[in-house]
């Protein structure tokens, strides 16, 4: 789009007639018509007055940048989305519970029935954004195995299912 087209488009966007613009600039209507038809160009003073009257920057009048403006707006939207993602990730990193969950899972190994109840809670709270999320799963698996062994041992000892072993002393 050339200057003449942008001048006409700006005038029509504001709803002005050529006569109104000519009266504002104190020039003839024919001069406005020549500018809009591309037969002549406004001088710098009139161009500044036109930009103020149309409420359009001189850059917009002189440069063909509509496509560039669209691209810039799309890029700004993309940048804003990426900023929001990075803020979300930073917030998630600040909430890193990996070490805390790992400690709780290992404590579950020390107190036999406690491990059965705490392990599902730890697994549910563990997220992939935690720095130690794989170790937390491993610790939970170990906790369940240890707790299973301890509970099995207690039950078999209490109920006498393990059998008895006697040792005889063959003394002389």
Q: What is the pLDDT along the chain (172 residues), one digit of tens a residue?
A: 578 888 888 899 989 999 999 999 999 999 999 988 988 888 888 888 998 998 888 877 777 656 666 777 888 899 998 888 877 766 655 677 888 888 998 888 888 788 889 999 999 988 887 888 899 999 999 999 999 998 888 888 888 776 666 667 777 6
Q: Could you tell me which of 118, 112, 116, 105 has the C-alpha nearest to residue 157?
A: 112
pTM of the entire predicted model? 0.41
pLDDT one-digit tens code per residue, 58-75: 877 777 656 666 777 888
Q: How much is the pLDDT for 27?
A: 93
SS (HEC) of 20-86: HHHHHHCCCHHHHHHHHHCCCCCCHHHHHHHHHHHCCCHHHHHCCCHHHHHHHHHHHHHHHHHHHHH
Class of domain 3-62: mainly alpha
pLDDT one-digit tens code per residue, 17-31: 999 999 999 999 999
């Amino acid at each position: 789009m050339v200057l003449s087209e942008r001048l006409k488009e700006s005038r029509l966007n504001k709803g002005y007639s050529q006569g109104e613009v000519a009266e504002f600039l104190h020039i003839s209507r024919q001069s406005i018509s020549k500018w809009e038809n591309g037969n002549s160009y406004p001088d710098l003073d009139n161009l500044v007055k036109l930009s103020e009257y149309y409420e359009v920057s001189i850059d917009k009048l002189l440069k063909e940048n509509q496509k560039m403006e669209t691209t810039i707006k799309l890029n700004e939207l993309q940048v804003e989305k990426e900023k929001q993602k990075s803020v979300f990730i930073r917030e998630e990193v600040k909430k890193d519970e990996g070490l805390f969950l790992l400690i709780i899972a290992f404590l579950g190994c020390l107190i036999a029935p406690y491990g059965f109840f705490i392990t599902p809670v730890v697994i549910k709270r563990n997220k992939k954004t935690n720095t130690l999320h794989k170790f937390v799963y491993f610790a939970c698996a170990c906790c369940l195995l240890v707790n299973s062994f301890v509970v099995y041992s207690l039950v078999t000892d209490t109920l006498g299912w393990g059998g008895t072993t006697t040792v005889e002393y063959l003394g002389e």
